[in-house]
Each structure stands twice: as C-alpha cells, then as structure tokens.
Amino acid sequence: MGSGCTNHCGSEIGGDFYDFFRYPGKATCAEAIGDASGKGASAAIHAALVAGILRSLAPLELGPAEMLSRVNKALLMRPIPGRYVSMIDATWDERERVLRIANAGLPHPICVQNEKKFALQVAGLPLGLFESAEYEEHTVTCDPGDLVVFYTDGITETMNSQGEDFGSERLERVIATNSLQPAEQVISSIFLAAGFHAGNLDPADDQTVIAVRT
C-alpha cells in the first residue's frame, strides 16, 4: 500500500489530526484521520488527547469498529462539555487485499476502482458524546492500484468570496481527474483546487487529506 497525507491549518494550531500504525502480529497497517470540534488551542489539546489514546491502543491491533468504540469510551471517562471528535479508522490487510473502514462522523471516503468513482457509505456518531454509540465496519476488496481518499470537512467547506463552498462534487472531480497519479500528487491536486476556489481567502478551518493507493 502506498499512502500520503497532508494537513493544512486555517490557523497556527487546530483540531485536525492523523496517524499511521503497523500491526506486526497481523501483517496489517492502520491509519486514522480525525477532527476535534472547536478552534484553536482548545481543539488542538482535544486532538492531542485523542492521538494519545490511539497510540496507547495501537499495540492491541484492534479492528476499526473496535478502535472507535474504545476511543469513544475513553473520551466519555473524561468528558469535555460541548466537545466531540469526528474520526475514521481504517486497516489494510495486504494478504487478503481488504480495506476495513469505520467512521465516526467524518465525510464519506471516496474510492476509485477501475476508473469508477464512488463514495463509501460508512457512517457513525462522533466520539465523546454517546455511551450507546456503536460502529460498523465497511469492507472493500481492492485490486492493485485502487485509490481511496479520506478527508476532513475543511476541504469541502472551503469558501470563495461569493460564499460558495468547494463542495463534494468539485472534490470528486479532482480525484477522478487525478486517479491514476501517485497518492502524493492526488493530495497536491486537491489542495491546489481548493486553494484556487478560495482565491485570496484563507481557510476558515483545518484541512487534512489522506490518499491510499492499494
């Protein structure tokens, strides 16, 4: 699996985060991308808390749904009023060529297989709000060269001077146009297109993209 990730902040610090892990016992690798609610230092502190929880759980080699469930329970043990975290956790099994994804409130990932583009319909409640939250795994069998793009809503909510969002349709067109490029190039193209759309306006929110080439 080849992958790339880029994070742009609308301010000096913010609530977006990402991480990558290897599960040696399962010959599997994992990635997480998330967005802590709020802005500035308070969001960054919350994001750092979640990143620490993820790191502490990584040696257990959990599946995506179980990982989200464990993080949710950990956050509810030390709740912060009005705060929550949206996050996707995914694992890639090289032997089975299977990508497993669980989602807690982030936009649907976009997949390109055999030049066909579609959103992976996997969803769930944000973390740190509900004790009863349950998470499901979406399984995708991938051929060599398939592309999956994960992103935070700072990308699609990038606004121009006319108050128009960049939106999911523009994002999907950029991904489809660059779907045969290396993962790093796909990411660069997304940020270039979002920046062109914004013009002279600075991003109002953090922007993070992970592209995975299987």
Q: Which tens digit of pLDDT belongs to each residue from 95-120?
A: 999 999 999 999 999 999 988 999 99
Q: Which residues contact 122 (CB under 8 A, 6 or more apart)?
A: 101, 102, 103, 108, 109, 136, 137, 138
pLDDT tens sequence across 34-92: 999 888 888 888 999 999 999 999 999 999 999 999 999 999 998 888 889 999 999 99
**pLDDT number for residue 3:** 57
Helix (H, G, I), strand (E, B) or coil at 9: coil
Range of the domain at 101: 2-213
Q: What is the mean pLDDT of residues 204-210?
A: 85
Q: Which residue has the higher pLDDT, 174 or 159?
A: 174
Q: How many structural domains are present in the chain?
A: 1
Residue appearing with tokens 């290396």: 182
Q: To 10 degrees, what angle do helices 40-57 and 64-77 make? A: 120
Residue appearing with tokens 């066909």: 116
Give 178: exposed, middle or buried? Use CB within 10 Å, 0-12, 13-18, 19+: buried
CATH number at residue 51: 3.60.40.10
Burial letters 73-92, b for 16+ CB under 10 A, else e? ebbeeeebeebbbbbbbbbb
